[in-house]
Amino acid sequence: PSGIGPRAKTGGSSTPGGDSLGGDFFYVATLAASVPFPVTSFLQENGVRLFAFSNIGTLAGLSVPLSSILRSTRSAVGCGVTMSTTFGRMEITYAIPTRYGPRDARKSVQFGLGLTFG
C-alpha cells in the first residue's frame, strides 16, 4: 500500500494518507549486470547466476513541474541470485533504498518468479 505518486484520501488502507493511485505517466531506468555463480560447477551447470542492479523511477501527473518529478524520483541498489527453471526464472534479491519518501514501504528482501514467453 505504500509507494510513490498520488494517494487515496479515504479507504481501508493501513498507510497514513491512503493507498497510492495511478498517475498520467511514469519512468523507470534499470542498470543490471550478472555473472555465473563462481563457486561450484553444479550451480553453474544449472544456470544459477549472481546479479547486481540499480533502479530509479517515479510516477507523476502531466501537469506536475519537472522539478517536482525529479524530487519525487526514488532509487535503490541491490544484488541477488537467479536461476532459470522449466517454470520460469526464480530469484531472490536484497535491495537498499537509496532515495525514498517518508511514506514508502522499504522492503529489502524479495522473492520472485518470472515467466518468459516466445
pLDDT of 29 reads 95
* Edge-first strand listing for the sheet containing 48-60: 25-36, 48-60, 74-85, 88-99, 109-114
Q: Is residue 18 part of a domain?
A: no
Looking at the whole model, is its pTM more than 0.95?
no
Say how many C-beta atoms besides its own lie within 10 A of residue 54's C-beta: 15
> CA–CA distance from 14 to each of 61, 72, 84, 101 (Å)?
24, 22, 36, 17
pLDDT tens digits in sequence order for the chain, 118 residues long? 445 556 666 655 555 556 666 778 889 999 999 998 877 777 777 788 999 999 999 988 888 899 988 998 999 999 999 888 877 788 888 999 999 988 787 777 877 767 665 4
- How many structural domains is the chain composed of? 1
Q: Is residue 99 part of a domain?
A: yes
Q: Hey, which residues does 28 pair with through a beta bridge? A: 57
What range defines the domain where residue 89 resides?
26-114
Q: Is residue 72 part of a domain?
A: yes
pLDDT of 1 reads 40
